[in-house]
């Protein structure tokens, strides 16, 4: 008996969460960095991770972010299905560009596709958040939402979940530097103080509104002015070598804004146009070359579609 009936290979993109002012609520999807996954429907009920390449991650379903996310989906599907998952990781764990989110979002998106799309993108975000909960102890949606919906997304509310896709201005390009040190999201969350002052809150929600308005009106200056974080960045940036110098180098070369990508250690700089993004890459490479640390640099346009099927 042939056990595999249907199978697809998907590209599961990296994402940049928070975007400075929007801790846990804003994120965007990258185009040139991501994992690949092969998802198959089989005749044997249950979820099995059959292969992982490129990372040392657990094959056990309950311990794997893709596994728990798909289990959440199948529980809601209420009919017996067998799923096999192969994961080909390119995004390093603990890099701050949504490694766990790519796996959980990619898996639920592909399973939904193979089942003829019974669930809305919003429901898929909910299932994928189970993977984030396993990875970091917190079911944040600001990486899985842009991976699933593409472009820029806002989590307007967590209870009930309300995820909104924002507009993506065509000319925005991300430059991301990933220093090869691991910062676990759970550790980076533990350094954050749980209280903010009213002054900080006023500052921050002005910027969130400004950034969203800037995206919709394609006002690049406004986008740049709004990429500011007075709450999280001061606490977390101390975990990232050369953060201040990288930011200065990026801004000096004309980046619209620069901040910590997700929980770090990656740093993102958003620019208008590929030319500026490349200049920014050269400048931050220079800063990091002096540290003796290994690092990767990615340049990517914003991926407005999110996860996609590949051959
Ligand atoms: N919003 C999350 C955090 C994103 O900053 O902890 C993790 O990638």
User: From the alpha carbon of 260, which atom of ligand 1 is closest?
Assistant: 5
**Which residues line ligand 1 at a C-beta cut-off of 6 Å?**
17-18, 23-24, 96, 140, 142-143, 185, 188-189, 262-263
Domain residue spans of the chain: 7-166+304-309, 172-301
Of the candidate CATH numbers 3.30.70.420, 3.30.230.10, 1.10.1760.20, 2.130.10.10, the domain formed by 7-166+304-309 belongs to 3.30.230.10
CA of 263 relative to ligand 1 center, distance in Å:
5
pLDDT confidence of residue 186: 87
CA of 28 relative to ligand 1 center, distance in Å:
12
Which of 13, 14, 16, 17, when mutated, tests ligand 1's pocket best, judged by the most ligand atoms within 8 Å of its CB? 17
Residue nearest to atom 3 of ligand 1 (CA): 263
Measure Cα distances from 39 to 47, 51, 69, 130, 257 in Å: 10, 11, 13, 18, 37
Residue nearest to atom 8 of ligand 1 (CA): 262
Provide the annotated active-site residues: 132, 185
Neighbours of 46 (CB within 10 A): 13
DSSP labels, 172-237? EEEEEEEES----HHHHHHTS-S---HHHHHHHHHHHHHHHHHHHHT-HHHHHHH---SSSHHHHG
Which of 141, 189, 237, 268, when mutated, tests ligand 1's pocket best, judged by the most ligand atoms within 8 Å of its CB? 189
pLDDT confidence of residue 5: 64
Backbone φ and ψ of 3, nearest 5°: -90, -30
Which of 16, 19, 23, 135, when mutated, tests ligand 1's pocket best, judged by the most ligand atoms within 8 Å of its CB? 23
User: From the alpha carbon of 189, which atom of ligand 1 is closest?
Assistant: 6
Segment 154-162 long-range contacts (CB within 8 Å, at least 24 positions apart): 154/22, 154/25, 154/26, 154/212, 155/24, 155/25, 155/26, 156/25, 161/122, 161/125, 161/126, 161/129, 162/122
Half-sphere exposure in the Cβ direction for 51 (13 Å, CA): 10
CA of 24 relative to ligand 1 center, distance in Å:
6
CA of 176 relative to ligand 1 center, distance in Å:
16
CA of 43 relative to ligand 1 center, distance in Å:
37
Q: What is the pLDDT along the chain (311 residues), one digit of tens a residue?
A: 444 469 999 999 999 999 999 999 999 999 999 999 999 999 999 999 999 999 999 999 999 999 999 999 999 998 899 999 999 999 999 999 999 999 999 999 999 999 999 999 999 999 999 999 999 999 999 999 999 999 999 999 999 999 999 999 999 999 999 999 988 888 999 999 999 999 999 999 999 999 999 999 999 999 999 999 999 999 999 999 999 999 999 999 999 999 999 999 999 999 999 999 999 999 999 999 999 999 999 999 999 999 999 98
- List the Cα angle 274/275/279 in 5-degree steps: 115
Question: Which CATH homologous superfamily contains domain 172-301?
Answer: GHMP kinase, C-terminal domain (3.30.70.890)
């Amino acid at each position: 008996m042939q056990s595999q009936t249907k199978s697809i290979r998907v590209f599961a993109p990296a994402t940049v969460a928070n975007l400075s002012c929007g801790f846990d609520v804003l994120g965007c999807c990258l185009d040139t960095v991501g994992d690949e996954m092969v998802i198959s429907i089989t005749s044997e009920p249950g979820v099995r991770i059959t292969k992982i390449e490129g990372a040392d991650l657990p094959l056990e379903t309950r311990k794997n972010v893709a596994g728990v996310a798909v289990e959440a989906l199948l529980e809601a599907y209420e009919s017996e299905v067998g799923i096999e998952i192969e994961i080909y990781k390119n995004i390093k764990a603990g890099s701050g560009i949504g490694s766990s989110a790519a796996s959980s979002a990619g898996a639920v998106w592909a399973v939904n596709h193979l089942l003829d799309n019974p669930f809305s993108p919003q429901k898929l975000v909910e299932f994928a958040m189970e993977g984030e909960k396993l990875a970091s102890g917190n079911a944040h949606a600001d990486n899985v939402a842009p991976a699933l919906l593409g472009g820029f997304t806002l989590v307007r509310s967590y209870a009930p979940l309300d995820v909104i896709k924002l507009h993506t201005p065509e000319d925005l390009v991300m430059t991301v530097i990933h220093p090869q040190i691991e910062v676990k999201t759970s550790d980076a969350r533990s350094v954050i103080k749980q209280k903010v002052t009213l002054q900080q809150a006023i500052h921050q929600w002005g910027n969130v509104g400004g950034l969203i308005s800037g995206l919709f009106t394609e006002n690049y200056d406004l986008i740049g002015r709004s990429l500011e974080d007075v709450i999280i960045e001061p606490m977390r940036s101390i975990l990232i070598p050369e953060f201040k110098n990288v930011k200065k180098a990026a801004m000096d070369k004309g980046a619209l804004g620069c901040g910590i990508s997700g929980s770090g250690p990656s740093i993102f700089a958003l620019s208008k146009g590929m030319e500026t993004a490349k200049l920014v890459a050269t400048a931050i490479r220079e800063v990091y070359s002096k540290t003796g640390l290994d690092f990767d640099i990615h340049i990517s346009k914003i991926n407005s579609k999110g996860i996609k099927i590949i051959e």
